Amino acid sequence: MSLEIGLLLVIIVAAVVLFSLENLPVDVIALSIMMTLILTGLLPAEQAFAGFGSNTIVMIFGLLVLTAALVKTGITDRAGQELLRLAGDNPKRLLAIVMTIPAILSAFISNTATTAMFTPLTLGLARRTKTNPSKLLMPLAFATILASSVTLIASSTNIVVNDMIEHYGLKPLGLFEMTAVGLPIAVVGVVYMLTIGHRLIPNRGTDNEGSDTAWGLRPYLAEIIVQPGSPLIGKTLEESRLGRDLDLTVLRVMRGHNRYLVPQANLRLAEGDELLVKGQRDQILKIKDKAGIALKADVRLNDPRLQGGDTALVEVILLPNSPLTGRTLKTLNFRERYGLQVLGINRRGQAIFRKLSETRLRTGDQLLIQGPRTNIQALDEDNFHIIGTVEHQRPNRKRAPIALGIFAAVLLLSALTIVSLPVAVALGVIGVFVTRCITPDEAYREISWKAIIVIGCMLAMGRAMEYTGTAGYLANQIVRLTQGQTNPRWLLTAFFMLTMILTQPMSNQAAAVLVLPIAIQTALQLGLNPRTFSVMIAIGASCSFITPLEPACLIIYGPGGYKFIDFVKVGSLLTVLIYLVAIALVPLFWPF
């Protein structure tokens, strides 16, 4: 073992420890690792920084932009409603749907693309069902990775392996040749996540239920009016689907001036009914797009001062010693006094059963307010503190077919191997920009730059393993340790384990490229079937469950609020199960 190899192995161990402890942000750790590789001379700077211009970075950046376009045009919201209808009120059925549909899709397209597309959709489902997102996002990412061995085109790693075995004069893999093993692996993996895996995932981040700041959203109380000609007239509250479609809880129904009705499921709505509802901020704002109902504030927005083009939507909090404490919006003449309109009130998630205009304000109350920006600035004089501006834009549904068509075209171009996935994704990004499905500024705000930094830095680790010869050294040690073993399954196991270990810090393709030539040469020397080892290495290279460094896992790492150790805990047992299935079936279908 050379000094360079020993030093790199020490850095790898230190990196795993630092990622596990998470005393520092993951992007800071990743940057520190990359700089250590450069300063110790284990990797030239130009090769270390080359990761940020790699196909992987371009692909993930583009997929995040395309996903933002799907969100902006309302496609993910609509798809989430349909999935919610399929799941009903059964959380296990929801988890099964969140895993099964992406897994089927990932059998034919990139798992990274599938994860990127379903992440915002899954976050919406989590919010509506009051489920912690961490319980759904990891199963989503794992399901897409599990399908990597179902077909030849499910993973670029399979294609790389196929090209290499052709180079050695072997017959290329068929499109569905690996299905005999890949499908049982996917089924076993999904069943594991449904029964055991999801129980091992802790509630990370902020729980959706009972929190004022779940994912930057606060539960507000608002008043909505059933408008003339509304399709909701004559329907019961249950049939209105306000809870299912908009995730709103109806607290009180006001009919006429003084008639208050209990919001029972069989209560039929009438024209002019005023409903006091509670919901997350974004769900309250979506009322503006729902036909037949409107925010009461919008209906009564007759003052021209409130309708100017320079209007803003902000969240403010009532500070101590404000002269407004203990008074109502009605007695304050709030709209006339400030030229602003209150859309909703948040009182630490508490339910309020009175009209907003008749609710006495308290210190700490948070108001969702819209109106001219100049008027909003005046709130500071009465001890209102502006929490922040709410960027709310209605979905550009007219562009939805275009965005969906562009995304489908990207997947088709890649699946038919007309162009590589990174090129197809880059073309798709240009497409959504040119067709104005989303603007560059809007897209760049949605990019998870932390994930981009971590991926770029960790690609340097993989390059260092090649540059220093560490990967080749480890492979040779595997061959040496298994010499003299009469059962070829031990050798097959050793190469699977080596590939699986290398694929954690390295890209799947790089791990396969490093190990496969040694495995094929070893098999030929021992008179064994090299195809058996090729398939096993392709499966091992896709077992990226133990760390969050797989691109699909990095996409959900931040939104799920995960820790490094979560992947170790859930992914280790899953990897063992995949190995057991593979070691039993691979020699069966591809005998030694």
From first CA to last CA, the distance across the chain in angstroms is: 32
Cβ-based burial of 489 (10 A; exposed 0-12, middle 13-18, buried ≥19): middle
* pTM of the predicted protein model: 0.64
DSSP symbols for 214-264: BTTB-EEEEEEEE-TT-TTTT-BHHHHTHHHHH--EEEEEEETTTEEE---
For the chain, residues with pLDDT lower than 50 are: 206-217, 301-309
Amino acid sitting at position 198: H
Residue 590 pLDDT: 93
- If phi > 0 it is left, if psi is from -120 to 50 it is alpha, else beta; for residue 161 that is alpha
**Quick one: pLDDT at residue 215?**
37
Identify the pLDDT of residue 184: 96
Whether the CB-CB separation of 170 and 522 falls below 8 Å is answered with no
For residue 109, what is the DSSP state?
S
Q: Is 505 helix (H, G, I), strand (E, B) or coil?
A: coil
Q: Which is it for strands 293-295 and 259-261: parallel, antiparallel or unpaired?
A: unpaired
Dihedral of alpha carbons 493, 495, 499, 502, sign: positive
**C-alpha–C-alpha distance, residues 523 and 529, integer Å:** 6
Question: What's the gap between Cα 171 and its chain centre?
Answer: 38
User: What pLDDT is recorded for position 51?
Assistant: 77
Runs of H (alpha helix) within 468-563:
470-481, 488-502, 508-525, 530-541, 551-557
**Residues 60-93: tens digit of each pLDDT:** 788 778 878 887 887 777 776 777 677 766 788 8
How do residues 312-331 score in pLDDT, each as one tens digit? 778 788 777 777 788 888 88
Residue 197, pLDDT score: 93
